[in-house]
Amino acid sequence: MNADKKYLTYPHRSYGMDHSLYEWSILDERAPIVWPNGKKLALWVNVNLQFFPLNQQSIPFPVPGGMTMPYPDLRHYTLRDYGNRVGIYRFFDALDKYGIASSIAMNTCVAQRYPYLLNKVVERGHEILCHGGHMDALHYGGQPLEEEAELVRKSLEELRELSGQPIKGWISPAKNESSNTPQLLAANGIEYFCDWVNDDMPYKFHTEQGELTAMPLSTELEDRFIIMNNLHSESSYKEQVIDACDYLLDEATTNGGRMLALNLHPWLLGQPHRIQTLEQVLKYLSSQEDIWSASPMEILSAFKSQT
Amino acid sequence: MKQDLGFYDYWPYENRPKIQWPGGAKLAFWVAPNIEYYELDPPQNPFRKAWPQPTPAVAGYSIRDYGNRVGHSRQMQLLDKYGIRGSVSLSTALCDHHPEIIKQCRDLDWEFFSHGIYNTRYTYGMTEDQEREMIRDSIKSIFKHTGQKCAGYLAPALSHSELTLDLFAEVGSELFGNDAGIYTCDLFHDDQPTPIHLRSKKRFVSVPYSLEMNDTIAYVSNKIEPRRYGQMLKDNFDQLYKEGSNSGTVMCIPTHNYQISCPHRMKSYEEALEYITGHSDVWVTTGREIAEYYLEHYYDDSVRDIEDKLGQKS
């Protein structure tokens, strides 16, 4: 089988990106951002509250962290549900102990199923992001537009109604998208989304339905990625977050404000043998004078006021 | 398909002619940052999928873009701090997409060698003419944008044909004589440069480019912890440095800005670079300089020694 002629033609080989979703821009060359009170590093902790359905359809792929065994895969179903029942309450205590703010990215299904938990999140004053319908409701290339449009509309409408919050932020399940996802988000009142991990600062993202801001939420530094995907130890996870924090603080000293985005899963770090790791990480971060712990909307507002 | 492509003969590591690098150095050290462009929606290759999920593959595409937007500046400044000139394994379409990066590397007198056009265009399924055309395009792009006559090659995404090395050497000669197309990074059979057999009989060498020390192999394939990666780099150096007293060795760190330049991985990398460049008798150099020095001083002796030992029993 030979490659066809098209294989040696390069229609997008010109200045900038090979698409028009955002501008090409080198972080190091952008005007420095100054965070409130002259802090160097904006710390954005995002905690995920996720529902992994037992009858997983895996369209178009099995979501990482989802069911892997023949139905009914009670081991994975209950282990993930553990985060919503037990782990999250350990998280609340840990966050409070060290005075760290966090956003909560919630599958709309979690808000529907667990009103107690939703109410708790609202009462505590967390900014809520929509994390799609549930973990098996993936957005993907080739998905019929009407189907995805309905999924976005319903997920947002119901989460807004249940939470009473305006819901301006979005993380797709598995951070997976179709080509239509950004414009559907913009059309449904989303201001920022977190699926693209190509920067350490927010940046403008264009859609046919208006502008979004991409708020990169690092996958490489995520608890699930380091501990479950890479099988690194808890102490290595802690070391990696601390090394990232030190590096970004140092870079911010010469290059302007930076953002440390930590994506966390109560079903993972909320386990009894791991919660101390989270506490140690939060303790280290809270002891840094130049860190500004903030919600994503606060970070976004400070960023937008300067760009 | 063939059992072996016959690029080199069996040549035991012991009792080879002694190599001494410039200034009597025991070890030639080079860093090869891969500066790559992956396409969001590449044409389909008949043998290998570019992305695991339907377009857009946001996860894979966006982290690689991180390498260019964020990571490159970090690694470039770090290498400069330790007096290391990068030998860039370049997706040459990047000259068109991101000329700022090319200029920054040029200003620091870095080397550019060909890593194909895009890292989402695989050699698999190309005819000989297509592959030659792709290689010619890449060498001409490097010359046009940097003025350099491309000395080295690393096939895009390590995708090869049986003729890859021949074609690279031939196109190099056709465009720039013996100034271009003189070394390959595609073979991992040795810790010293080795002569390579080509159908053109051109004097051509393999320069060690370690897959084991490659950050993407370490971090993505082998899922190694950052501190352990730093320790592996030091251990790799210690052994090659020790053996370099007998005959000069080569250590290469191949990197990718979307891996090594993540903020949680920079510390261990810097510690390793500080350690390595803190030793005397280390020649901190580039791929081209290693290839040229070897071709001038050791290639002929090596070819003779290999021929003498062919079929010999120990």
Q: What is the pLDDT of residue B313?
A: 83
Rg (CA), chain B: 19
Q: What is the ipTM of this complex?
A: 0.97
Task: List C-alpha distances in Å: B204 to B13, B186, B221, B300, B305.
Answer: 20, 13, 30, 11, 16
Say if the Cβ atoms of B46 and A142 lie within 8 Å. no
Residue B264, helix vs strand vs coil:
coil
Residue of A nearest to B134 (CA): A8
Interface of B with A in 186-225 (CB under 8 A): 223, 225
Residues A253 and A246: their CA atoms lie apart, in Å, by: 11
Q: B170 CA to chain A: closest CA distance, Å?
A: 20
* Closest in A26, A141, A177 to B69, CB measured: A26
Which stretch of DSSP H or E encloses residue B271? helix B266-277
**Cβ burial, residue B213 (10 Å; 0-12/13-18/19+):** buried
The HSE-up count of residue A48 (CA atoms within 13 Å, CB side) is 30
Residues A151 and B107: their CA atoms lie apart, in Å, by: 50
| Tokens 């973990």, residue located | A135
Write down the pTM of the prediction: 0.97
Q: B155 CA to chain A: closest CA distance, Å?
A: 15
Reported as a single tens digit per residue, the pLDDT across A209-238 is: 999 999 999 999 999 999 999 999 999 999
Reported as a single tens digit per residue, the pLDDT across A115-137 is: 999 999 999 999 999 999 999 99
Residues A290 and B54: their CA atoms lie apart, in Å, by: 42
* SS (HEC) of chain A: CCCCHHHHCCCCCCCCCCCCCCCCCCHHHCCCCCCHHHCCEEEEEEEEECCCCCCCCCCCCCCCCCCCCCCCCHHHHHHHHHHHHHHHHHHHHHHHHHCCCCEEEECHHHHHHCHHHHHHHHHHCCCEEECCCCCCCCCCCCCCHHHHHHHHHHHHHHHHHHHCCCCCEECCHHHCCCCCHHHHHHHCCCCEECCCCCCCCCEEEEECCEEEEECCCCCCCCHHHHHHHCCCCHHHHHHHHHHHHHHHHHHHHHHCCEEEEEEECHHHHCCCCCHHHHHHHHHHHHCCCCEEECCHHHHHHHHHCCC
- Average pLDDT, consecutive stretches of 10 residues, N- to C-terminus, chain B (314 residues): 96 97 98 98 96 96 98 98 98 98 98 98 97 98 98 98 98 98 98 98 98 97 98 98 98 98 98 98 98 98 96 80
B85: left (phi over 0), alpha (psi -120 to 50) or beta: beta
Reported as a single tens digit per residue, the pLDDT across A242-284 is: 999 999 999 999 999 999 999 999 999 999 999 999 999 999 9
Q: What is the pLDDT of residue B62?
A: 98
Q: What is the pLDDT of residue B311?
A: 81
Is residue A211 within 8 angstroms of chain B, CB to CB? no
- Does the pLDDT value for residue A1 go beyond 70? no
Q: What is the pLDDT of residue B27?
A: 98
Look up residue A230 and give its amino acid. N
Q: Which residues of A touch B117 (CB under 8 A)?
A: 10, 13
Interface of A with B in 73-102 (CB under 8 A): none
Say if the Cβ atoms of A26 and B97 lie within 8 Å. no
Supply the angle between the helices B72-81 and B99-107 in degrees, to the nearest 10: 0
Q: What is the pLDDT of residue A270?
A: 98
Is residue A254 within 8 angstroms of chain B, CB to CB? no
| Tokens 């976004």, residue located | A300
Q: Which residues of B touch A27 (CB under 8 A)?
A: 69-70, 73
Q: What is the pLDDT of residue A4?
A: 82
CA angle B125, B161, B186 (to 5 degrees): 135
Are the beta carbons of B59 and B129 closer than 8 angstroms? no
| Tokens 């891996």, residue located | B259
Are the beta carbons of A197 and B57 closer than 8 angstroms? no
Q: How many CB atoms lie within 10 A of CB A117?
A: 18
Interface of B with A in 117-156 (CB under 8 A): 117-118, 121, 124-127, 130, 133-134
**Residues whose CB falls within 8 Å of the CB of residue B111, separated by 6 or more in sequence, listed in order:** B85, B86, B87, B88, B148, B151, B152, B286, B287, B288, B289
Confidence of residue A5 (pLDDT cuts 50, 70, 90): confident
Over pLDDT 70: what percentage of chain A?
A: 100
Mutation pick from A21, A24, A28 vs chain B, by most beta carbons of B within 10 Å, is A28
- Does the pLDDT value for residue A32 go beyond 80? yes
Residues B237 and B216: their CA atoms lie apart, in Å, by: 19
Confidence of residue A3 (pLDDT cuts 50, 70, 90): confident
